[in-house]
Amino acid sequence: MGTDTRTVFTATVGYIVWGTKDLGANTSVQAKAFNFFLGGKYYLAKDLYGSLEGGAYFYSYTYSGIVIGAYGDTGRFMLPIGIGYQKSGFEIGARYMLLATYWNCFSITLGYNFML
């Protein structure tokens, strides 16, 4: 029996930095996140795929104010579910990241895949 070439293993590492948000009254907050996911893609058609991954999502923030500054961080398990299109190494995709009721988010990815 042959292998199924429609299924591939994926590993994703990312680092996100959001712009500083001015909260008024000389206070601001800036958020950053690092993630690591393992999972797979299943090609529904020649270049169209669905994906499912799972992994760690680490979030931190820095709050700056006139009187006080604060820093915080947390880590969570996240389950990204997505769909995308890949051609000649280039890829565009959309993912909905399931974490918790107040942490869910949507992302769009544009990138290039390197073969190992």
Full residue range of the structural domain in which residue 48 is found: 7-19+34-57+76-112
Per-residue pLDDT, 3: 61
- Structural domain includes residue 29: no
Percent of residues, the chain, with pLDDT higher than 70: 92
Q: Please tell me the total count of domains within the chain.
A: 1
- Structural domain includes residue 24: no
- Structural domain includes residue 98: yes
The full 3-state SS of the chain, as one line of letters, equals CCCCCCEEEEEEEEEEECCCEEEECCEEEEEEEEEEEEEEEEECCCCEEEEEEEEEEEEEEEEECCCCEEEEEEEEEEEEEEEEEEECCEEEEEEEEECCCCCCEEEEEEEECCCC
Per-residue pLDDT, 1: 45
Q: How confident is the model at residue 91 (pLDDT cuts 50, 70, 90)?
A: very high
56 and 35 Cβ atoms separated by less than 8 Å:
yes
- Structural domain includes residue 84: yes
Each residue of 20-76: pLDDT tens digit?
888 888 889 998 989 999 999 999 999 999 999 999 989 898 988 887 888 888 888
- Structural domain includes residue 80: yes
- Structural domain includes residue 40: yes
Full-model pTM: 0.71
